[in-house]
C-alpha cells in the first residue's frame, strides 16, 4: 500500500514536470496554428525557423558570445583558481566570497547593475557589453570546477619537476595542467551552457540590433503563441542535453579512473 | 612559491564588473545629478514606500511565499521518496529530476502559456470530458503555477541531499522506543532535515520574488511584480534612480532573509546544486 502510494506520487510529480515540456515538443510538429488540435505532422515550423533572418542573427550572436565568453572565462578563471588554491586565511575567504557574489545575487540585480556601469562609463549597449556580462557570470562556474581538481593535486609532483630542472612555467604546463584539465573542460562546458541559456542578464546588457535566442524567444512569446517558438525551444533543449550528456559522461569516466588509481 | 598574483586579473575583473556595479546601484538610488552638480537625495528611496509601490512589493512577496509553500508541500514528500532506502533506480530518478532545470526557463514558462490558453490542450481535454473550462491564464493563479513548476526541483534537491545523510540508526532507535511513524517524522526526521528545508526555501523564494518573466508571460502585461517594476524603470521609463532604489531594497530584503535562513542552516549542510 505504502509503496503504491509512493509510486503514484512519484508518477504524478514527474508527469507534472515532464508533460508540459513533452507537449511543447510534440506540438512543434503540429500542422495547425491553434495549439489545442492536432492537425497532422509537419516540419514547416522548423523550415520557417531556418528561413527567419531575425532568428539566424540571434543564433549567430548566441554562439559567438557563448564561445568567446566561455573561452575568456576559462583562461581567467583557471588562473584565478590556481591563485586561490595558493592563498590562505582572510584573503582566500574574501576572494571566495567575491566569487559567490554573482551566483548569489539575483539575475535582475546583476543585469541592471551592469547596465548602470556601462551607461555610467558611456559604452554603447550591444555586443561588447553583453560579452563582458557573460564573462562575468561565467567566471564562478569555471573557478568552482577547477578548484576541486587543484585540491586533489599532489604538490610533490610539481616540486619534483622543479628539482629535475624544469622552469616553473614548464612544470605547470607539463605537470599541473594535464592533471587539472578535466576540471577546466568541465568548467568551459558549464560556462558555455550558461551563456547559451541566459536571458535576464543579456536582456539588460544588450542594445538595439543585438539579441540572443532567449531574448528573441521572449519578445516573440510576449506577442502571443507561435509554433516557431516550440520548434526553436525543442532544438535548444536537444543541443543543451547533448552537451550535458557529454559533461556527465566525462565526469563518470573521471570518477572511475580515480577509483582505479585508489586501489 | 608565490602564485597568488594569478588571481590579480580575476580580482580586477570582479572589482570592475561585480563590485563597482553594485556600488553604482547604491549611488544611483541616493544621489542625483542636477544642474548644480551631484547631491544627496532620499527622494527615490522614499518613493519605494508609496502605497502603489508597496502594493506591488507586497504582492511579489505574497505570491513568492505562496509558491514557496506549494513547493515545500509538494517537494518534501518527493524528497522523502527519493531518499527512501528501498528505492530502486535512485540515480536515474535524480537525473530525471535535475533534467528539467536545464531546460531554458523561458521554455518552461512558455509551455504553460500554450497549455493554459483558452483553446489550449487543457481546455480541450476538459471540454471533451464536458467539464467547465479553466480560464486562469493572465491571473495570479497562473503566475503561482508557473513559479511552482519552474522552481520545484530547487526545493526537492537540497531536502533530498540532507535526508540522505540522516543516520538511519536514529530513526530505528525512535521506532524501537515505540514512536509512531508520525511521531518519528515530527520529532526526528523533520528537525534533522531543517537545514535542507532552509536552503530549499531560499532557492525557491529568491528567484520567485525577483522574476519578471513569469509574471509578464503568465500574468499578462497588466500584472506587476517588483521585477516588472524594476525592468520598467530601466528599459521603459529610464528612471534609474527609482529603479536602483527598488533593486537596493530588494537586495537588502534578500540579504536579511538569507541571514535568517543561514542561522537555521548552522552546519552549512544545505547541499545546494553542486
DSSP characters over B206-252 = HHHHH-SHHHHHHH-TT---HHHHHHHIIIII--HHHHHHHHHHHHH
Confidence label for B268 from pLDDT (cuts 50, 70 and 90): very low
Taking Cα atoms as reference points, which of B217, B212, B215 lies closest to residue B250?
A: B212
pLDDT at A81: 94
| Confidence at B2, pLDDT banded by 50, 70, 90 | low
Mean pLDDT, residues A68-84: 96
For B122, name the nearest residue in chain A, comparing CA atoms only.
A36
How do residues B69-103 score in pLDDT, each as one tens digit?
999 999 999 999 999 877 778 888 888 888 888 78
Residue B153 has pLDDT above 50, yes or no: yes
**Among A81, A143, A125, residue whose Cα is nearest residue A215:** A125
Does the beta-carbon distance from B13 to A136 stay under 8 Å?
Answer: yes
pLDDT attached to residue A263? 54
What 3-state DSSP class applies to B218?
A: helix
Which residues in chain B are contacts of A85 at CB distance < 8 A? 3
**Which residues share a beta bridge with B32?**
B39
In this prediction, residue A206 carries a pLDDT of 94
pLDDT attached to residue B271: 41
Query: Min CA distance, B85 vs chain A (Å)?
Result: 12
Indicate the burial class of A229 (C-beta count within 10 angstroms; 0-12, 13-18, 19 or more).
Answer: buried
Distance CA B106, CA A198 (A): 10
pLDDT on residue A36: 67
Of A35, A82, A101, the CB nearest to B3: A82
Tens of pLDDT, residue by residue over B102-111, are 788 898 999 9
Q: Is the pLDDT of residue A32 over 90?
A: no
- Name the residue with higher pLDDT: A258 or B159: B159
**Do A237 and B1 count as a contact with CB atoms less than 8 A apart?**
no
> Higher-confidence residue: A153 or A125?
A125
Can you tell me the distance from the alpha carbon of A218 to that of B231, in angstroms, rounded to the nearest whole number? 14
Band the pLDDT of B133: cuts 50, 70, 90: confident
B234 and B240 in contact (C-beta within 8 Å)?
yes
Q: Which residue has the higher pLDDT, A13 or A104?
A: A13
Average pLDDT, chain A: 89
Nearest CB among A36, A83, A117 relative to B7 is that of A83
Mean pLDDT of B22-45: 90
- For A162, name the nearest residue in chain B, comparing CA atoms only: B1
B117 pLDDT more than 90: no
A18 interaction partners in chain B (CB closer than 8 Å):
96, 100
The pLDDT score that the predictor gives to residue A200 is 95
Q: Which of B138, B141, B136 is nearest to B122 (CA)?
A: B136
- Looking at residue B272, what is its pLDDT? 40
> B1 pLDDT exceeds 70?
no
Lowest mean pLDDT among A33-47, A114-128, B31-45, B190-204: A33-47
pLDDT of residue A1: 64
Q: What's the CA gap between A159 and A166, in Å, rounded?
A: 9
Above 60 in pLDDT, residue B208?
A: yes
Question: Is A16 in Cβ contact with B110 (below 8 Å)?
Answer: no
Least confident of A94-108, B81-95, B134-148, B238-252: B81-95
Of A17, A107, A132, the CB nearest to B17: A132
Amino acid at each position: 500500500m505504502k509503496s503504491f502510494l509512493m509510486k503514484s506520487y512519484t508518477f504524478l510529480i514527474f508527469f507534472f514536470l515532464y508533460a508540459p515540456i513533452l507537449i511543447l515538443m510534440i506540438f512543434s510538429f503540429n500542422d495547425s496554428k491553434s495549439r489545442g488540435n492536432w492537425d497532422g505532422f509537419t516540419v514547416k515550423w522548423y523550415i520557417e525557423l531556418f528561413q527567419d533572418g531575425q532568428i539566424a542573427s540571434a543564433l549567430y550572436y548566441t554562439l559567438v558570445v557563448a564561445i568567446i565568453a566561455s573561452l575568456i572565462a576559462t583562461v581567467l578563471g583557471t588562473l584565478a583558481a590556481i591563485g586561490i588554491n595558493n592563498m590562505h586565511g582572510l584573503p582566500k575567504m574574501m576572494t571566495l566570497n567575491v566569487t559567490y557574489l554573482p551566483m548569489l545575487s539575483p539575475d535582475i540585480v546583476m543585469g541592471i547593475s551592469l547596465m548602470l556601469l556601462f551607461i555610467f562609463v558611456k559604452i554603447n549597449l550591444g555586443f561588447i557589453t553583453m560579452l563582458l556580462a557573460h564573462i562575468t557570470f561565467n567566471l564562478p562556474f569555471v573557478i568552482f570546477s577547477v578548484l576541486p581538481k587543484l585540491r586533489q593535486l599532489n604538490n610533490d609532483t610539481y616540486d619534483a619537476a622543479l628539482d629535475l630542472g624544469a622552469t616553473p612555467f614548464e612544470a605547470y604546463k607539463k605537470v599541473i595542467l594535464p592533471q587539472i584539465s578535466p576540471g577546466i573542460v568541465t568548467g568551459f562546458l558549464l560556462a558555455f551552457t550558461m551563456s547559451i541559456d541566459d536571458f535576464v542578464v543579456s536582456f539588460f546588457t544588450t542594445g538595439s540590433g543585438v539579441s540572443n535566442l532567449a531574448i528573441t524567444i521572449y519578445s516573440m512569446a510576449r506577442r502571443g503563441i507561435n509554433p516557431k517558438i516550440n520548434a526553436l525551444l525543442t532544438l535548444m533543449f536537444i543541443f543543451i542535453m547533448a552537451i550535458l550528456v557529454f559533461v556527465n559522461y566525462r565526469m563518470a569516466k573521471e570518477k572511475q579512473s580515480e577509483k582505479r588509481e585508489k586501489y | 612559491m608565490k602564485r597568488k598574483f594569478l588571481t590579480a586579473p580575476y580580482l580586477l575583473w570582479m572589482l570592475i564588473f561585480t563590485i563597482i556595479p553594485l556600488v553604482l546601484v547604491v549611488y544611483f538610488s541616493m544621489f542625483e545629478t542636477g544642474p548644480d552638480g551631484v547631491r544627496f537625495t532620499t527622494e527615490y528611496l522614499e518613493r519605494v514606500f508609496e502605497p502603489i509601490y508597496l502594493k506591488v512589493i507586497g504582492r511579489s512577496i505574497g505570491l513568492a511565499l505562496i509558491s514557496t509553500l506549494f513547493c515545500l508541500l509538494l517537494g518534501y514528500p518527493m524528497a522523502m521518496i527519493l531518499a527512501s532506502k528501498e528505492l530502486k533506480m535512485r540515480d536515474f530518478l535524480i537525473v530525471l529530476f535535475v533534467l528539467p532545470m536545464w531546460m531554458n526557463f523561458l521554455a518552461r514558462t512558455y509551455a504553460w502559456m500554450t497549455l493554459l490558453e483558452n483553446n489550449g490542450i487543457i481546455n480541450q481535454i476538459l471540454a471533451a470530458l464536458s467539464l467547465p473550462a479553466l480560464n486562469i491564464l493572465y491571473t495570479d493563479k497562473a503566475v503561482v503555477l508557473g513559479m511552482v513548476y519552474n522552481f520545484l526541483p530547487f526545493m526537492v534537491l537540497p531536502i533530498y541531499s540532507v535526508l540522505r545523510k540522516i543516520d538511519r540508526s536514529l530513526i530505528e532507535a525512535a521506532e524501537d522506543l515505540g514512536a509512531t511513524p508520525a511521531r518519528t517524522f515530527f520529532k526526528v526526521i523533520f528537525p534533522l532535515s531543517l537545514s535542507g528545508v532552509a536552503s530549499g526555501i531560499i532557492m525557491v523564494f529568491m528567484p520567485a520574488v525577483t522574476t519578471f518573466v513569469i509574471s509578464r508571460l503568465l500574468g499578462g502585461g497588466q500584472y506587476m511584480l517588483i521585477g516588472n517594476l524594476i525592468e520598467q524603470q530601466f528599459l521603459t521609463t529610464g528612471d534609474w534612480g527609482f529603479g536602483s532604489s527598488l533593486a537596493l531594497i530588494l537586495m537588502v530584503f534578500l540579504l536579511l532573509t538569507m541571514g535568517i535562513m543561514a542561522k537555521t542552516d548552522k552546519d552549512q549542510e544545505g547541499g545546494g546544486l553542486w
